């Protein structure tokens, strides 16, 4: 007996329909079938072609079609030509519509889009960790956003927050005694964002940081004159880069992040 031919039809890539079909076949010990996956079916003419092939092969059709008019046409044609047709998506969506008391979007490929968005976020988070605090300057050339600033200007929290929005972010600490990496001056300045803070605010933040670590809050790290020199050096680097500078003195991370995202979106426009 020849193996049955199953046409797996979808208005997206067809992975869901094929997985369900294979799962069902696996319940029949020793049984096999020829599966022909046909993705991106969104026209009546495509269905006509599939019906012709399935009828010729004495095959069956398993489909996940979210657009009602295309799904209904497939149902009508399979019944008209006496072809076994299995609608995986339709009955479930009809039941959900009653359950949620809300009409479906009827847009193909949304599951795949959600998966892609998820993995993009994960990749961005891993990128932010890898290229945090200037660890590897090579990351600057691949970053969507580059943050520069002196210590304690929220570069790392901002990098992580922006990564959750799927932006690949690298950040570079600005220290007078250390030259910035040469890669920083090779990137598009529109991708660079400088984070500036008032000396007094930074002095308070650093003193609190030292105290929390059990250290002397009068250390050079929190010295106001030292802080002023760092900020002057930051100004020099920012001017050389010709990048946008945001004053983060009294801004929450979320507020600064929104400003940066708006800047990036205007750049792309």
What stretch of H or E contains 148? strand 145-149
Residues annotated as binding site for ADP?
Answer: 149-156
Distance CA 68, CA 21 (A): 21
Which bin fits 89, alpha (ψ -120 to 50), beta or left (φ > 0)? Answer: alpha
Distance CA 31, CA 194 (A): 64
Quick one: how many helices (H) and strands (E) in the chain? 9, 8
Distance CA 264, CA 227 (A): 29
- The separation between CA 95 and the C-alpha centre of its own chain, rounded to angstroms, equals 31
How do 60-64 and 192-196 pair as beta strands? unpaired
Please, are residues 172 and 184 in contact by the beta-carbon 8 Å criterion?
A: yes
Q: Residue for token digits 């927050």?
A: 161
DSSP 71-84: HHHHHHHHHHTT--
Contacts 24+ apart (CB under 8 A), 208-213: 209/152
Residues annotated as binding site?
Answer: 149-156
């Amino acid at each position: 007996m020849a193996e049955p031919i199953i046409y797996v039809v979808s208005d997206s890539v067809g992975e869901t329909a094929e997985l369900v079909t294979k799962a069902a076949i696996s319940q029949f010990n020793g049984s096999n079938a020829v599966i022909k996956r046909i993705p991106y079916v969104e026209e009546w003419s495509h269905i006509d072609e599939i019906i012709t092939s399935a009828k010729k092969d004495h095959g069956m059709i398993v489909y996940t079609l979210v657009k009602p008019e295309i799904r209904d046409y497939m149902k009508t044609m399979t019944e008209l030509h006496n072809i076994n047709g299995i609608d995986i998506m339709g009955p479930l969506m009809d039941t959900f519509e009653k359950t949620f008391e809300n009409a479906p979007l009827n847009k193909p490929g949304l599951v795949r889009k959600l998966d892609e968005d998820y993995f993009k976020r994960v990749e961005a988070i891993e990128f932010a960790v890898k290229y945090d605090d200037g660890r590897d300057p090579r990351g600057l050339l691949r970053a969507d956003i580059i943050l520069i600033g002196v210590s304690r200007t929220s570069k790392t929290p901002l990098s992580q927050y922006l990564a959750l929005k799927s932006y690949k972010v690298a950040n570079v600490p600005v220290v007078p005694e250390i030259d910035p990496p040469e890669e920083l001056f090779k990137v598009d300045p529109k991708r660079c964002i400088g984070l500036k803070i008032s000396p007094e605010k930074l002095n308070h933040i650093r003193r609190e940081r030292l105290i929390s670590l059990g250290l002397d809050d009068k250390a050079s790290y929190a010295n106001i004159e030292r802080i002023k020199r760092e900020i002057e050096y930051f100004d020099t680097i920012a001017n050389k880069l010709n990048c946008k500078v945001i004053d983060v003195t009294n801004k929450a991370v979320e507020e600064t992040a929104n400003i940066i995202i708006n800047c990036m979106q205007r750049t792309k426009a």
